């Protein structure tokens, strides 16, 4: 049975939407907040290593493009497959839902093996191209050599956990992340400071923690409590099953993979104009951005099973209600966090470093970089709704527009226009791109969502 107490397996289509979203979104939100700690706790500890903390933090920041790529491949499969599994469940087609789970599980194993080999043999070359300097390359390589070994744990934990959420087991999905996060928080100081392993200790703590989460996730999906189970007969890849999943997950993959490309562009441009301190500040900025984005995505993942299931069941009213609640909650969160960043940026910077110069520099950059964060709630809500309704084309269009058409060119163009302070001009590219992208998303969504709801309602009336 599900985490939601109900006597019916179609609780996603029957329980009051507000109550259901609350039950699903809170554990998922908690999981995302925990996952955020999972991702940034290394940077917090590393930034406070005596004497070398600032350079070590910068080195870890240069690793971010590679780490984001690993997460992007997990999202490609997991976030593409899980909404389709929910839609099949809404249609009461459990066989297709389980085939989707099995295909996605096997594909993630294959992708993990390829990524591990590439990262082990090529990470130094990548890191030098991504903005590492002579001062920071050693820290970056030491971290990635160990992190690469745990690629399969990261892939399966992130990707397969979305299938747990898609079934309505939000608390179980939260525990999946909690196990790894708590382990990481406890192991980090032991390896970093206790065993004097520095950045190597941070990487080792991370992969051991991810391994524990992975065992939990896979064990659950192979056990008796899940509605959808990983079965050997469903593992062989079939194009009619896996290709639609990849198409739907492509938008999320582009969003996360483009973060990797954008990180490279930012680091290389900042190294040119501002040196290591500017790259170090970018590490903190991206960490704070994760703080902003992951809870928004967590709320979206809590709403996704409701929208996907009811879209499959042709219940347009419940889809609309779920989206409105999602948008309201996301807007409240993004506005409150924006206010905190604008008024107290030094608090966020001090979490990651005790270097006074880096804190002062980061404080000003943070206000510029996250100037329009209060509007992120709109962007993420629409993006999640596109995914939940299986609208891969619209989701891809939004992702490509924001990242590739707008942000990447602006990273290089704005410093050429605002030449009086080219370093801060690089950070200014982010809010300019966000404003234009959100405008485009709202216009596209207003047409696509109405069309999808009208189609669903007509189909229901014809039955």
pLDDT in tens, 151-202: 999 899 989 999 998 888 878 888 888 898 889 989 999 999 999 899 999 9
pLDDT for 38: 67
Rounded-to-integer distance, Cα 402 and Cα 433, Å: 6
Confidence at residue 209, expressed as pLDDT on a 0 to 100 scale: 93
Say how far apart CA 246 and CA 166 lie, in whole Å.
Answer: 17
- The Cα 309–Cα 93 span in angstroms is 11
Backbone angles phi, psi at 124, to 5 degrees: -65, -40
Q: Which residue has the higher pLDDT, 111 or 23?
A: 111
pLDDT digits (tens, 9 = 90+) for 269-281: 998 999 989 999 9
CA-CA distance, 248 to 384, in Å (whole number)? 11
387 touches 309 (CB < 8 A): no
3-state class (DSSP) for residue 136: coil
Q: How far apart, in whole angstroms, are the C-alpha atoms of residue 2 and residue 356?
A: 50
Q: In this structure, what token pair is assigned to residue 9?
A: 């397996």
Cβ distance 116 to 149 under 8 Å? yes
Instruction: Determine how many CB atoms are found less than 10 A away from the CB of residue 210.
Output: 25
Q: Tell me the DSSP string of 3-31.
A: SS--S-TTGGGTS-HHHHHHHHHHHHHHH
* Cα separation, 341 vs 349, whole angstroms: 10
| Highest-scoring range by mean pLDDT, 206-220, 256-270, 346-360 | 206-220
Report pLDDT digits (tens) over 183-192: 998 999 999 9
Phi, psi (rounded to 5 degrees) for 231: -125, 145
Whether the per-residue pLDDT at 2 is higher than 60: the answer is no
Question: For residue 212, is pLDDT > 90?
Answer: yes
Minimal CA–CA distance to 58: which of 279, 273, 224, 275? 279
Give the pLDDT mean for 8-22: 69
CB 311 within 8 A of CB 389: yes
């Amino acid at each position: 049975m599900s985490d939601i107490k109900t006597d019916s397996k179609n609780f996603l289509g029957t329980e009051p939407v507000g109550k259901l979203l609350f039950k699903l979104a809170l554990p998922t939100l908690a999981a995302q907040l925990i996952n955020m700690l999972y991702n940034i706790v290394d940077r917090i500890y590393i930034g406070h290593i005596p004497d070398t903390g600032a350079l070590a933090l910068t080195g870890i920041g240069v690793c971010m493009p590679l780490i984001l790529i690993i997460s992007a491949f997990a999202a490609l499969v997991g976030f593409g497959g899980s909404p389709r599994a929910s839609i099949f469940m809404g249609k009461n087609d459990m066989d297709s839902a389980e085939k989707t789970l099995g295909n996605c599980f096997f594909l993630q194993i294959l992708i993990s093996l390829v990524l591990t080999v590439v990262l082990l043999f090529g990470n130094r070359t990548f890191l030098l191209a991504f903005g590492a300097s002579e001062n920071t390359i050693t820290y970056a390589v030491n971290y990635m050599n160990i992190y690469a070994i745990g690629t399969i744990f990261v892939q399966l934990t992130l990707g397969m956990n979305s299938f747990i959420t898609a079934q309505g087991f939000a608390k179980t999905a939260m525990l999946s992340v909690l196990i790894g996060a708590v382990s990481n928080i406890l192991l980090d100081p032991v390896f970093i400071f206790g065993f004097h392993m520095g950045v190597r200790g941070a990487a080792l703590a991370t992969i051991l923690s991810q391994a524990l989460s992975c065992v939990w996730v896979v064990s659950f999906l192979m056990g008796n409590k899940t509605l959808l189970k990983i079965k050997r007969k469903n593992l062989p890849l079939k194009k009619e099953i896996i290709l639609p999943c990849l198409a739907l997950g492509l938008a999320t993959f582009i969003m996360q993979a483009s973060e990797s490309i954008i990180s490279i562009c930012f680091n290389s441009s900042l190294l040119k104009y501002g040196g290591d301190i500017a790259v170090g500040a970018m590490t903190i900025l991206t960490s704070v951005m994760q703080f902003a984005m992951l809870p928004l995505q967590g709320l979206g993942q809590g709403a996704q099973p409701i929208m996907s299931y009811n879209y499959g069941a042709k219940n347009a009213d419940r889809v609309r209600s779920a989206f409105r609640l999602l948008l309201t909650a996301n807007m409240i969160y993004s506005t409150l966090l924006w206010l905190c960043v604008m008024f107290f940026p030094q608090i966020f910077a001090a979490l990651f470093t005790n270097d006074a110069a880096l804190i002062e520099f980061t404080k000003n950059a943070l206000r510029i970089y996250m100037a329009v964060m209060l509007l992120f709630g709109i962007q993420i809500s629409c993006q999640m709704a596109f995914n939940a309704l299986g609208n891969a084309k619209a989701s891809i269009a939004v992702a490509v527009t924001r990242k590739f058409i707008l942000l990447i060119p602006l990273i290089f163009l704005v410093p050429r226009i605002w030449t009086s302070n080219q370093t801060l001009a690089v950070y200014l590219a982010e809010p300019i791109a966000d404003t234009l992208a959100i405008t485009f998303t709202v216009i596209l969504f207003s047409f696509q969502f109405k069309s999808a709801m009208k189609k669903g309602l007509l189909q229901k009336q014809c039955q």
